[in-house]
């Protein structure tokens, strides 16, 4: 049965130009905002709950035994990985971090960090709320644990409507 699943996974990886192992070490759900086109995840990587991954992201291992960064990334809860970002090697990304599109991360990031590039790292004093909103009809939704959740906070809805219009 395992061989059958491997064939199916290989087919979909080829069709979507992605590289996702049969088993991902994750502790909860992963939100693939634009599907999993072009996404590559190392089989040794660990991804925690409610991580949002945009297209063409790489979460890769370093396999050279003499490298300081030998190993695979650990991605904390409620992290947003922007389109095309690369997280490589034995690094830990703390909870509630945001990684900018096309950023290259090969260092540990503490919780509530916004990583733009190796010269621009912002650490927030407050907890970052990493909800990715979409408007459907007249209502606002965000993904949480792989499920669509309607936003009910009136001040958030007002803010979203002002920024969207």
102-106: which pairs have CB atoms within 8 A and are 24 or more residues apart? 106/69
- Joined together, the tokens standing for residue 73 give 């990334």
Mean pLDDT of all residues belonging to the chain = 84
pLDDT (0 to 100) of residue 105: 95
DSSP 3-state of 29: coil
pLDDT (0 to 100) of residue 54: 94
Per the CATH hierarchy, to which homologous superfamily does domain 2-123 belong? Hexapeptide repeat proteins (2.160.10.10)
Strand-pair partners of 139: 136
Mean pLDDT over 94-118 rounds to 93
**Over 70: is that where the pLDDT of 2 sits?**
no
- Where in the chain is CATH 2.160.10.10? 2-123
pLDDT (0 to 100) of residue 22: 55
pLDDT digits (tens, 9 = 90+) for 60-76: 988 877 778 898 999 99
Mean pLDDT over 79-86 rounds to 96
pTM as predicted = 0.76
Confidence of residue 146 (pLDDT cuts 50, 70, 90): confident
The Cα 92–Cα 114 span in angstroms is 14
């Amino acid at each position: 049965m395992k061989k059958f699943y491997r064939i199916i996974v290989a087919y979909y990886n080829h069709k979507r130009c992605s590289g996702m192992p049969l088993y991902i070490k994750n502790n909860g759900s992963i939100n693939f905002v634009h599907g999993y086109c072009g996404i590559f995840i190392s089989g040794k990587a660990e991804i925690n709950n409610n991580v949002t991954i945009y297209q063409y992201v790489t979460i890769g291992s370093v396999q050279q035994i003499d490298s300081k960064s030998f190993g695979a990334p650990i991605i904390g809860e409620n992290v947003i990985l922007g389109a095309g970002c690369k997280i490589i090697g034995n690094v830990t990304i703390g909870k509630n971090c945001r990684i900018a599109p096309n950023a290259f991360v090969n260092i540990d990031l503490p919780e509530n960090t916004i990583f733009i590039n190796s010269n621009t790292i912002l650490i927030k004093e407050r907890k970052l709320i990493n909800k990715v909103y979409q408007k459907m009809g007249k209502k606002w939704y965000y993904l949480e644990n792989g499920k669509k959740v309607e936003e009910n906070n009136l001040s958030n809805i007002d803010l979203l409507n002002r920024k969207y219009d």
